[in-house]
């Protein structure tokens, strides 16, 4: 099925949007799986060109190094500070929930805990084979 036609059919009220959504989501997963499967082969082929950027078959390809990542989980000071931050975040979240109900949270020192600001993401729809 042609995706562009499917979208057009939904726009024109010809196709059920739930059906179209399920079809496109299914294709999205199939494509992601296919890309993951062939990516290493494509990388091996691209390296044969001997350049970081090249054009072939009307497509421009750019090879990029992997990103550098640092992990701090082996540093005791970081672990301790991170734990303290998570505990404070939990306290502020608790205060936010209480605030929505018209209540206040007080810490062990008798101080009012300010509520975290709350925002919401947009609603979404999930689809899986039945």
Burial group, residue 95, by CB count within 10 angstroms (0-12, 13-18, 19+)? buried
Q: Both ends of the chain: CA-CA distance in Å?
A: 21
Mean pLDDT of the chain: 96
Q: Where are the domains of the chain?
A: 3-62, 76-113
pTM given for the model: 0.68
Backbone angles phi, psi at 21, to 5 degrees: -60, -45
- In the prediction, which pLDDT does 97 show? 97
Read off the pLDDT of residues 56-97 as tens digits, 9 standing for 90 and up: 999 999 999 999 999 999 999 999 999 999 999 999 999 999
- In the prediction, which pLDDT does 25 show? 95
Provide the pLDDT confidence category of residue 111 given band limits of 50, 70 and 90.
very high
């Amino acid at each position: 099925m042609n995706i562009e036609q499917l979208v057009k059919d939904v726009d024109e009220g010809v196709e059920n949007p739930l059906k179209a959504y399920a079809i496109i989501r299914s294709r999205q997963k199939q494509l992601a799986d296919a890309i993951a499967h062939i990516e290493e082969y494509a990388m091996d082929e691209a390296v044969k060109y001997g350049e970081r950027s090249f054009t072939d078959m009307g497509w421009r390809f750019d090879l990029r190094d992997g990103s550098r990542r640092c992990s701090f989980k082996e540093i005791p000071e970081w672990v301790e500070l991170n734990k303290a931050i998570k505990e404070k975040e939990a306290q502020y979240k608790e205060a936010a929930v209480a605030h929505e109900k018209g209540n206040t949270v007080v810490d062990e020192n008798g101080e009012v805990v300010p509520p975290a600001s709350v925002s919401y993401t947009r609603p979404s729809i999930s689809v899986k084979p039945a």
